[in-house]
A = this chain, B = another copy of it.
Amino acid sequence: MQRGLLRFAVLALPYLFAIAGAARYPSYGTLQTTQTDGVLNVVINNTYSTINLFDKHVQSDLANLIEELQAPDTDVRVVVFSSANEEFFIGHIDVKYFLPGYESPLPLFDPFIPQMLFPVSLLWNITQLPQATIAMIEGRTRGIGNEFIMSCDMRFASEAPSVLFNQFEASFGVNPGAGGGMYLAHTIGRARAFEYALSAQDVDARTAARIGWINTAFDTSAALHQHVQALAARIAVFEPMGIAATKTGINAVSRPTFDVLVRDAQNVISGLLGMPSVQAFFEKFIEATHNQSISPLELNYGRDLGELFK
């Protein structure tokens, strides 16, 4: 078999599965979808966690969703992510993922992007979607949860006190391994990216809107929903190729390249995760957060992280 044909066969594999209607990875029902015309609303609802943890369940469902959105015959033009959890739009990664003995139905690396760890490829693939993607945010986003929203094209939030953004990896002795610091630099500028990614502060919606972390903050949940749904409906009448082509240009200059993302974010964190001090911090974090459940520290990490360093 010729190399070219082989490559085609491998690339065609996901579509063959998709055609067959079978999800590639296990389904856990953590992403509830409804479609209205060209807009797909996706509600993040991780029933396995009280903090909408970005764990293997969410990752598995997200991988399946992305595959559907990549399908050539999709009629989705805009994707809106929201949350069923009032306190957490989307949580940080399940840090047990980095500890010995963790089991998962998911591969370590994405079989179709073999240089990328599975969760990193999920976020990269979101930036690659032909659809416009909008995060409609109520509740906290921290760590990879914040990297998730940064991988969406746009972010809108309510000014509820539960809305707090935090790219907090530096406080764990590591870095945002899916490129969170890089996307922040392209979105809020170099200086503020350093400030917030180095200090692990919680940023409220109003501050986030002022510095550009989110596009706009709204007084009320109703105003947020109305704005986002109107925006989504507006974009969804445009031809899909116009949306995808416009994204291509913006991505070409304001997204870390694949190589930079792998080398200077993912591979950097890979080199640090096994360090004894980092592993010990994860253990301490799990205990202090009551096993990563809703708890004072999860609710107020930015304010209370000092207790982890006593």
Contact = CB atoms under 8 A, between A and B. Distances in A.
A306 B237 contact: yes
A139 interface: no
Interface string A210-226: 01101100000000000
Nearest to A269: B245
A92 to B, nearest CB: 15
Contact of A278 (B212, B239, B277, B278): B239
Contacts of A235: 170, 198-199
Contacts of A175: 242, 245-246, 248-249
A181 B249 CA distance: 6
Given A155-B191, A192-B212, A194-B154, A173 B250 contact: no
Q: What is the interface residue range for chain A against chain B?
A: 35 or more
Contacts of A188: 189
A237 B281 CA distance: 13
A183 B194 CA distance: 13
A23 interface: no
Contacts of A247: 194, 198
A19 interface: no
Given A245-B272, A246-B181, A192 B174 contact: no
Copies of this chain assembled into the complex = 3
Contacts of A275: 241
A254 interface: yes
B185 A253 contact: yes
A238 B170 contact: yes
Contacts of A110: none
Interface pairs A-B: 8 shortest CB-CB: A173-B239, A175-B245, A252-B264, A190-B254, A153-B194, A185-B254, A173-B242, A181-B249
27 contacts: A132-B194, A154-B194, A171-B242, A173-B239, A175-B245, A175-B249, A181-B246, A181-B249, A182-B252, A185-B254, A187-B190, A188-B189, A189-B189, A189-B212, A190-B250, A191-B214, A191-B215, A193-B254, A197-B246, A198-B243, A198-B247, A211-B212, A245-B269, A248-B268, A249-B268, A251-B264, A252-B265
